A and B are shown apart, each in its own frame.
Chain A
Amino acid sequence: MIESLRARWAIIIAVFALAVIWTVPNFVDVEKIWWPTKARMILGLDIQGGSHLVLRVDVDSAVKQESARMAAQLPSELKEERIDVKEVTVVDPLRGHLKIEMQKPDDRAAIEKALDKYYGYTVQVSNVSGSTMEVEYSELYLREFKTRLVEQAIAVIRNRIDEFGVAEPSITAQGSDRILVQLPGIKDAEAAKDLINRTARLDFMIVLQNMSQQQLIDMVEEAEKTHGIKLGELKYSQYVDKINEVLKDKLPANSVVYFEKPENAASMEVARLPYLLSTVEAVSGDKLTSAQVSTGERGEPVVTFAFDAVGARLFAELTRKHTGQYMAIVLDKVVKSAPVIQTPITGGRGQITLGRGDMQQMMNEAKVIATALRAGSLPAALEQLEERTVGPSLGADAIRQGEIASIVSAILVFVFMVFYYKGFGIVANLALAFTILITVAVLSSLGATLTLPGIAGLALTLGMAVDANIIIYERVKEELAKGASMMAAIHEGYDRAFSAILDSNLTSIAVCIVLMYFGTGPVKGFAVTLTAGLLTSLFTSVFFTRAIFDLVVGKWKWNLAVK
């Protein structure tokens, strides 16, 4: 304990000044005036209103795709190195585990060299026996690959949200494959969600004429019946994947069936039209430089887009080669339109028509498509695990009610302390007020988020601060009853009570550390506020109040009553 009263008060005044500096930005708009710090507490979505989404990036599918791609490319890459292999098969697509059937065991060294050239550290040989060699992705690469996917997905989501114009969005990775999106105060959460979840993959694919549309319809219907695939029960993309899987053997090589929704159909389920499309004679839309909403011939909203130089050249080649044929414009596996290529398109520009319908709806759809195209496509599918949306009015109600209740309960405690402990009670109340001020300051300086559970943590802090004062004062009363002088009783009270206060605070802090480690969101918020509060109350109820007594009773010789 610092003996000099002057030094102790200097510390207290310094802490007070810092606390005020950090607390002010919560109540005053410091953007306009000069102030040393701009950090302030952020109100949680449960108080402020807004949307909270937890998404999972489907990393497994992306790894599977990557594995399949490697298995398909490997034979030709080895051929470049003048090595022929019998077969490359996928063993475990989740680890890029491939089995290579070599022509002869002697090829082994050459293959390893080639693998090192093409894949480097990403692939390692896991097993060799006779003329089969097994390889798989290295742990390091798999981890990097997954992290990169999540990072890319976050970047794309951020781009899209920024386009949408939400103030202070928070998009962060959570765990290994999750993304937490927090959109404070957003009114049309639905629209934002729609925007986030768009894959936004644009493709231009030549329509194959090997089969008539009626033939395709019959095949699809049969596949639906025999395999029990129903669009109403599945997401469209899943439906398309399943249909194509079933029909794989009946369709020409390098082709897929995608569907168009006729202009007058209300939903995808009604009267969809299948198209047989080439996966080879195609250009993907990831080489766009711009996409925007403009008006078509009939005044309807359309999305116009422009390619970059590489995309424009590929697009020109495709349209030159297939002049006179149909080309489908495909967005997220849905055929948006399939116009005839009248002349080769060399300017690298085009447009997507949206069909006919409610003007407002089409306008919204066009906006979403254009935004998604501009912001880039997602590297992997997203799956929504959790969604919480609090309307702004509920948040406001909660704040008002909570404020009134907290103020009343604080006043009750203050009144009780003064009633029961008289002059000492006033000192305790000063300490409580100081505790609140410092805790708010600490949370502000950390830029912490204040949630309802966080407020519960703050309430517990105050409860423990009150308790610390009660422990000390009861001890002082005990000592006075034994006949000690006021100053002696105060010193004895503080010295004796200190171990109890320290132990109870430290145990609680230890528990908070566990909660911070295990808890997510609400539990974490609780633990952070409680820790800040407990450390603060140790300072106020032991150091601060004692300095007051030493000054007022010890030096100024005031006659302070304890009961």
Chain B
Amino acid sequence: MAKEAVMNSKVETAASREEGLRFDFVKAAPLVGVVSLLLVIASLLVLAVKGLNYGIDFAGGTEIQLRFAQEVDPQQVRDALEEIGLKNATVQAFGNQSEYLIRLDTPAGETEKETNELITANVNKIKDTFKSKFGLTDDGVLRVDTVGPAVGSELRTQGFLATFYSLLIMLIYVGMRFDYKYAPGAVLSLVHDVILTLGVFSLLGREFNIQIMAAILTLIGYSLNDTIVTFDRIRETLPQYKGSKPLAWIINKAINDMLSRTILTGFTTLVAVLALYFLAGGVIADIAFTLIVGVIVGTWSSIYVAAPMVLLFEKYKQWKGAH
């Protein structure tokens, strides 16, 4: 009996809801699509000109995080480093200038082996000098990370490959579970998200390290989830109106039906990552920052990039069939 009621109500609402569409997303899509495209181009330009500020995970090098018992003037730290011949070290003070992050580039040795020797020598030099000059204790050495040049470039390749194959798998999965015409939209929207996020990182000069890569993978997951949910709704709406309504209308209806869900999920996630960003420090805050960018970009792209792409692909097919 209950089922019957549902069936009846569906017939009713289909008609009554026609004018109830809150926004015409598809109509705005070409315009917004151009904006998205421009943003992608801008991001690519920034990436080409400024590049990413690779952390030592990808660039190789050494990072030392120290905590002194008292405050030390950053200039003194720089001078001390210069004295032992480490002029190019980057010095970054935290909070009250008792904590420091020192980053050294990979020294140029003749062979990989020599390079690694030089790195170890530099770290020891810094420790010894700071111990005698600023009373650094062993406990004060919070973290020492050294990544050899070989490992750095390897991690870069691996990250790239992982992202590439992830996208490929999605292309196949979406093509199989939905329809091949959905797949390009899903992948393009993800590529869009990744490029924009990397663009923001490049623009702000934020360090790009392995944790950030994990965060970008997270945002791929999040944005994919968003896209699939929208696609699922389109898939469901399609047979109900097939023949009676144009595809653009159907897509628009699906996006509108999912709008409250999209906003609610986006909002909830944003609240959670904002809390992480403001309350946690260090790595977690960095990951949270990436996710803040990702949630905004990801929500945007699943409405404006992924779904309209389905339409665009369909139109292309018709055009190609006509020619």
Whether chains A and B associate is yes
CA distance A386 to B147 in the complex (A): 4
Interface residues of A in 510-535 (CB under 8 A from B): 510-511, 513-515, 518-523, 526, 530
Say whether, besides A387-B146, A391-B139, A488-B5, A460 and B232 are in contact (CB < 8 Å): no
Residues of A within 8 A of B275 (CB): 405, 408-409, 412
Chain A residue with the shortest CB-CB distance to B67: A393
Say whether, besides A235-B117, A471-B261, A514-B162, A456 and B214 are in contact (CB < 8 Å): yes
Inter-subunit contact A510/B169 (CB<8 Å): yes
Inter-subunit contact B279/A401 (CB<8 Å): yes
Inter-subunit contact A387/B144 (CB<8 Å): yes
Chain B residue with the shortest CB-CB distance to A197: B120
Residues of A within 8 A of B144 (CB): 189, 387-389
Inter-subunit contact A515/B138 (CB<8 Å): no
- Check if B184 is an interface residue, CB within 8 A of chain A: no
Inter-subunit contact A394/B162 (CB<8 Å): no
Chain B residue with the shortest CB-CB distance to A412: B271
Chain B residue with the shortest CB-CB distance to A189: B144
Residues of B within 8 A of A387 (CB): 144-146
B320 → chain A, closest Cβ, in Å?
28
Inter-subunit contact B113/A470 (CB<8 Å): no
How many B residues, CB 8 Å from partner?
81
Residues of B within 8 A of A520 (CB): 155, 158
Say whether, besides A391-B139, A482-B13, A409 and B276 are in contact (CB < 8 Å): yes
Inter-subunit contact B166/A455 (CB<8 Å): no
Say whether, besides A405-B275, A518-B162, A420 and B221 are in contact (CB < 8 Å): no
B249 → chain A, closest Cβ, in Å?
19
Residues of A within 8 A of B213 (CB): 522-523
Residues of A within 8 A of B117 (CB): 234-235
Partner of B165, one of A46, A189, A514: A514
Chain B residue with the shortest CB-CB distance to A510: B169
- Check if B53 is an interface residue, CB within 8 A of chain A: no
Inter-subunit contact B9/A483 (CB<8 Å): yes
Inter-subunit contact B211/A453 (CB<8 Å): yes
Inter-subunit contact B158/A408 (CB<8 Å): no
B144 → chain A, closest Cβ, in Å?
4
Residues of A within 8 A of B312 (CB): none
Chain B residue with the shortest CB-CB distance to A234: B114
Inter-subunit contact B138/A460 (CB<8 Å): no
- Check if B268 is an interface residue, CB within 8 A of chain A: yes
Inter-subunit contact A386/B151 (CB<8 Å): yes
A360 → chain B, closest Cβ, in Å?
14
How does the 8 Å CB contact mask read for B258-280 relative to A, with 1 for contact and 0 for none?
A: 10110011011101110110011
Residues of A within 8 A of B229 (CB): 467, 471, 500, 504
Inter-subunit contact B162/A515 (CB<8 Å): yes
- Check if A252 is an interface residue, CB within 8 A of chain B: no
A405-B276, A515-B217 given; name 6 further pairs at CB < 8 Å. Answer: A383-B112, A389-B143, A393-B139, A398-B282, A510-B169, A522-B214
A-B contact pairs, 23 of them (CB 8 A): A188-B138, A235-B113, A385-B148, A385-B150, A387-B145, A388-B143, A390-B143, A393-B142, A409-B271, A410-B272, A413-B271, A413-B272, A416-B267, A467-B225, A481-B13, A488-B5, A503-B178, A504-B229, A513-B169, A515-B162, A520-B158, A523-B159, A523-B213
